[in-house]
Amino acid sequence: MRVAIREAGTLIVAAYAAIVSTVALLWNILRDRQDSGRLRLSCSIACSHKEADGKKVITSYFIGQMVVPPLSDDDRHFVIQVTNIGKRPVTVDSWFLLSKPASPFRYRSATKIVPPQILSESGSMTIKIRDFDELRTGIDALGVLDTHGRAWNLPGAEFLRMKELMLEYHL
């Protein structure tokens, strides 16, 4: 009888140790994951025009708040807002466009940012793309690359809505 009690006590201690070590492992994985740099991308379409008094005015049309841009605008560009939402700095190296060709290499084009931008915690940057034709045809994703080779994409729903609005407003 004493042997069974000792074995049960040992089993309880071993189970407790296994549970505590599993929780500690998961906690460390979560902490390390959150401690890195992470990027959030958003987009807008900016139009600039001159007022009657000669001042240049830039108006941004954000996805979800899109209105018909004035037809007299001659300087329109697509703006990607990149924000570091992580706890470590991230260096943004280039932006890219993805398409779905048959080849395993999906990058249609990657444009280097000179000099690469270092985004500290809560830091942000903007990338302006003036060629709407390049965005309109055959593109399935849009994003940026950091110096570690990680790709950060514009959220899919926002990207699809942006493409619909570009077609709707003939941008």
What is the residue extent of each domain of the chain? 1-34, 39-168
pLDDT of residue 135: 73
Is the model more confident about 80 or about 134? 80
What proportion of the chain, given as a percentage, has pLDDT over 90? 15
Determine the pLDDT at residue 3.
58
Q: What is the rounded average pLDDT of the residues 21-33? A: 90
Average pLDDT for residues 20-33, to the nearest whole number?
A: 90
Under a CB-based contact definition with an 8 Å cutoff, are residues 66 and 59 in contact? no
User: What global pTM score does this model have?
Assistant: 0.68
What pLDDT was estimated at residue 84? 92
End-to-end CA distance of the chain: 84
Q: What is the mean pLDDT of the chain?
A: 77
Percent helix, strand, coil in the chain, to 5, is: 30, 40, 30
Average pLDDT of the segment spanning 10-30: 93
Task: Count Cβ atoms within 10 A of the Cβ of residue 146 and give its class: 0-12 exposed, 13-18 middle, 19 or more buried.
Answer: buried
Kindly give, in sequence order, each residue whose CB lies less than 8 Å from that of residue 83, ignoring residues fewer than 6 positions away: 39, 40, 41, 42, 119, 122, 123, 124
